Chains A and B, each alone.
Chain A
Amino acid sequence: MLSNLDALMHGFSVALTLHHIVLMIAGVLLGILVGVLPGLGAPNGVTLLLPLTFSMDPVSAIILLTSLYWGALFGGSTTSILFNIPGEPSSVATTFDGYPMARQGRASEALTYAFISAGIGALVGIVVITLLSSAVASFALRFGPPEYFAVYFLAFASFIAFGGGAPLKTIVSLCLGFGFGMMGMDTVSGSMRLTFDIPELIRGISFLVVVIGLFGLGELLLTIEEGPEFKGASGRLDPRGMLRALASLPRYWVAVLRGSAVGVWMGITPGGPTAASFMSYGLARRMSRNGARFGRGEPEGVIAPETADHSAGTSAMLPMLSLGIPGSATSAVMLGGLMIWGLNPGPMLFIEQRDFVWGMIASMYLGNVIGVILALATVPLFAAMLSVSFSIIGPVIVTVCLVGAYTVAGAPFDLWLAVVFGAAGYLMKKLDYPLAPLVLAMVIGDKAEDAFRQSMLMSNGSLGVLWSNPLVGALSTLAALFLLWPVASAVLGWHRTSKAMRMARAEPGS
């Protein structure tokens, strides 16, 4: 570990030049821009800049690209909170409490919580990378298909089992999500599933189009139903809200710590940032004293997914570099970049290219600090957008949503899909169907199915493979316990009327 600290110091001497700091600022700003726009994401930004980097040295190039990635992660939270439109897939969970806070006029506060906790999460992730770089890579290698499946199962169980909501409607929502996720080509058998020979369905239904419809358009319809004016987020620039959030953040240290731990875990294992943010949100709702207030504008519901999202995003850089596992579309493009710069991702990178690796790790510290500062600086700007009358900003948001839906695959068909899911989102909200399970099932459902069926291929159809070694056994058992938790607690506390049951009863028609 000490040698790693030496290496880090060396990395700082590489990274801390004026040239590199300018690159970081440029990268973060561009990242915030692509992160804010739902149609663009970090992969677009990285592909845009990639040709520019061919003439740079690799250290400057990776600093520019990773800074853009951090910027995009921060920017993605902004629209989640202000308009309920997740700019990036991993910021879906931020909408659950961020948007209600914004509607209560606490937009500045919510954004501040999001950015600061995200920054802390990122720093925790980088510290883990710094200290454990060699151990992490070999740990990640132990993940085969059964372990992959167990990780997805665990993320899934911890979110679902700890959620509220009417059980039957949760099941409907889950099944819809699984079903939409299965459409398209099946990796394991190679056959087309649920495509009905319609060419537009070959690529399946994109998760992003569904989210834009359900959350973005659906929310607009709900808003307009309540009244002709945007009652939601208060538009005034509110520096006191930011200060209030800063002052009360230390109170949430448990949530920050838990979120970071979940994030680092999911970043190193193949779970990824999106699953991490859901899992962290689910755990926080269960374990926090304020759990009952989740979903109605609870700061902890913003902090939990944000810390996990960013610590997963940063700690996932390590498996990417040392094993060449692309954890996301963005890192896949970055890996392509590495090859073009003449570097091969792999364990030798850490030995042969110390300047590159440690320069990059050092730049992650600084890049994320710059990210927090610049993101906070944009809060007044975005908050000002809310003071524009709804009769103008409403239609503009609609066009932004539709442009975003189109760019996902460049398909006119997706515009229809977004509208259909917008209507569905509106009706489901009206009837108290929870939307989050649908989204989660779409995100990890097909990956989990692939991993499960790969495991079955390996074990010739025996479920025992999920308990075939201590690692996968522990994960599977924990996941099973999480899933059975509600059943167990219902049986144990049968004579008491638990809160969940009261809620279920109060919910008509479920």
Chain B
Amino acid sequence: MTMFPKAAALLGAALSFTLPAAAQPAWQPTRPVEFVVTSGAGGGTDLFARTVQAAITRHNLVPTSIVVTNKGAGSGAEGFVYGRGAQGDPHKVIFGTNNEWLLPLVARVAWKPLDLTPVTAMAFDEFMLWVKGDSPYRTGADLIAAAKERPGAIRMGGSQTRDTDQTLTLLIQRATGVRFNYIPFRGGGEVGVQLAGGHIDADVNNPSESVGGWRGGQVRPVCVFRREALPAGPRVTEAQSWSDIPTCASQGIPIEEFRMPRTIFLPPAVPPGAQAFWAEVMRKVSETPEWADYIQRTSQSPALLSPDEMRALMVTEERSARELYGPEGWLVN
């Protein structure tokens, strides 16, 4: 949820959830397990899956070996189609984001959101509004004012088309009545560099995608799309830490919350014991120091959704996305 304001209400309950202490699960892997990553090597989902793999290996949480394969083509469609095709095979675990249920809305792909078996969402990645380091825009309101003055002239960069970045841009436009010129690039890192070079005016990167540029003074976060500022942490630049960045709602962009879940799925029709097994493994992973380290380094918010909460999240997000995308003519299904 949390991608859309309407769905956000569910989150509080989700965050406090932990699995009931289950007895020894009925199912165990008997062959090497494949972690299917729906992004290229080095992408956000790749880092997520490899952190989970490292934690599992280090703490011996799974009896067999684990291989990670990258299937990130078509914004991750490749990996989900592959997972869909591995019907009934609980030795394939698919790592993704909310693209599992948003991509089928905007592109003709060969799976439906509820085809795959949801396991959990382990973290939420935050979104921030960024401008160039020496940009005249000090607050969110400055940028909105400039966009009001020159409709369609402010260039907003983002990763991919009809993906989370453009969805957020769309939400900002709806909430403030302005129009941006959205320019899609291949990934968040590329967007950050384009912003540092002044080829675009703003972007909505995740914190970890632009932290290097912020430290070097090339780009600057204006506000965070969150209910409250990020929790206090070590300084990032000489003067500021993440917690010093105000919320966008307080800056004249009335969007309460926008976050991207890091999700885990199994192929369709796996035995229920397998679903429980992997949910339990991921619960243990979420308690390891490797995981805590990853969460802290990438400035994400930890979470642990149950399969049912995942399903609820998918349904509500899909419904709000349909409402949002419909008038834009994005829907293909």
Chains A, B in direct contact (C-beta < 8 Å): yes
* A 308-325 binary contact with B (CB < 8 Å = 1; else 0): 000000000000000111
| Known A143-B197, A185-B75, A344-B211; contact A199-B110, beta-carbon cutoff 8 A | yes
Q: How far is the CA of A335 from the CA of B212 in the complex (A)?
A: 11
A454 to B, closest residue via Cβ: B183
Which one of A332, A342, A344, A410 has the highest number of Cβ atoms from chain B below 10 Å of its Cβ? Answer: A344
Q: Mark B194-224, 1 if CB is under 8 A from A, else 0.
A: 1011110000000010011111111000000
Check A454/B184 contact, CB under 8 A, given A346-B216, A347-B216, A348-B212. yes
Name the one of B57, B85, B185, B197 contacting A454, with C-beta atoms under 8 angstroms. B185
> B218 near A346 (CB under 8 angstroms)?
yes
Residues of chain B with a CB closer than 8 A to A409's CB: 71, 73, 78
B161 located at the interface, meaning its Cβ lies under 8 Å from any Cβ of chain A in the complex: yes
Choose among B47, B77, B190, B214 the residue that contacts A336 (Cβ–Cβ < 8 A): B47
From A186-194, A242-250, A296-304, A396-404, the one touching the partner chain is: A186-194
Q: Does chain A have a CB within 8 A of B174? A: no
In the complex, A486 has a CB within 8 A of chain B:
no
Report the Cα distance A142→B197, complex, angstroms: 6
**Are A410 and B69 neighbours in the complex by a CB distance under 8 Å?**
yes
Cβ contact within 8 Å between B193 and A332: no
B40: interface (CB < 8 Å): yes
- B213 adjacent to A43 (CB under 8 Å): no
Say yes or no: A197 contacts B197, CB within 8 Å. no
Judging by beta carbons under 8 Å apart, are B155 and A458 in contact? yes
B194 to chain A, nearest CB (A): 6
Asked whether B226 is an interface residue with its Cβ less than 8 Å from the other chain, the reply is no
Per a CB cutoff under 8 Å, which of A191, A197, A339, A458 touches B297? A339
On whether A199 and B189 interact (CB within 8 A), knowing A189-B161, A324-B213, the answer reads no
Check B107–A188 contact: CB distance below 8 A. no
Taking the nearest CB of chain A, how far is it from the CB of B185, in angstroms?
7
Q: Does A267 contact B (CB under 8 A)?
A: no
A392 cross-chain contacts in B, Cβ below 8 A: none
Shortest CB-to-CB span from A55 to chain B, Å, is: 11
The reply to whether the CB of A333 lies closer than 8 angstroms to some CB of chain B is: yes
Question: Which residues from chain A contact B71 at a C-beta distance below 8 Å?
Answer: 203, 409-410
Which of A187, A199, A342 is B161 in contact with, Cβ under 8 Å?
A187
Partner of A190, one of B42, B81, B106, B297: B106
Contact A348 B216 (CB under 8 A): yes
**Which residues of chain B in 118-175 are interfacial with respect to chain A, using CB atoms and an 8 Å cutoff?**
155, 160-163
Pairwise interchain contact B47-A339, C-beta atoms closer than 8 A? yes
Residues of A contacting B54 in the complex (Cβ-Cβ under 8 angstroms): 51, 54
B192 interface contact, C-beta 8 A: yes
Q: Is the CB of B190 within 8 A of A203?
A: no
Q: Answer yes or no: B186 CB below 8 A from chain A CBs.
A: yes
Interface residues of A in 393-420 (CB under 8 A from B): 409-410
Q: Are B197 and A47 within 8 A (Cβ)?
A: no
A residues 424-464 near B (Cβ < 8 Å) are 450, 454, 457-458
Residues of B within 8 A of A188 (CB): 161, 184
| A43 in contact with B41 (CB, 8 Å) | yes
Residue of A nearest to B215 (CB): A348
Residue-wise, chain B 23-63 has the 8 Å CB interface mask toward A (1 for contact) of: 00000000000000000111100110010001001000000
Check if A202 is an interface residue, CB within 8 A of chain B.
Answer: yes
Answer whether residue A144 sits at the interface, using C-beta atoms and an 8 A cutoff.
yes
Tell me the complex Cα distance, A410–B68, Å: 11
Q: CB of A87 within 8 A of chain B?
A: no
Instruction: Tell which of A43, A142, A192 touches B108, judged by Cβ atoms closer than 8 Å.
Output: A192
Q: Is the CB of A190 within 8 A of B109?
A: no
B219's nearest neighbour on chain A, judged by CB, is A346
Q: Does B74 contact A (CB under 8 A)?
A: yes
Query: Given A51-B54, A348-B216, A450-B186, A324–B74 Cβ distance below 8 Å?
Result: no
Whether a CB of chain B sits under 8 angstroms from the CB of A295 is: no
Is B251 in the interface zone, CB < 8 Å from A? no
20 A–B contact pairs at CB < 8 A?
A: A141-B197, A143-B197, A184-B73, A185-B77, A189-B161, A190-B161, A199-B81, A199-B110, A324-B193, A326-B189, A329-B42, A332-B42, A333-B42, A335-B189, A336-B42, A339-B208, A344-B215, A346-B218, A454-B183, A457-B181
Give the interface of A toward B (CB within 8 A).
43, 47, 50-51, 54, 141-145, 184-192, 195, 197, 199, 202-204, 323-326, 329, 332-336, 339-340, 342, 344-349, 409-410, 450, 454, 457-458
Chain B residues with CB under 8 Å of chain A are 40-43, 46-47, 50, 54, 57, 68-69, 71, 73-75, 77-78, 81-82, 85, 106-110, 155, 160-163, 181-186, 189-190, 192-194, 196-199, 208, 211-218, 297-298, 332
The 9 closest A-B pairs by CB, nearest first: A346-B212, A332-B42, A203-B73, A144-B199, A190-B161, A347-B216, A185-B74, A344-B212, A141-B197
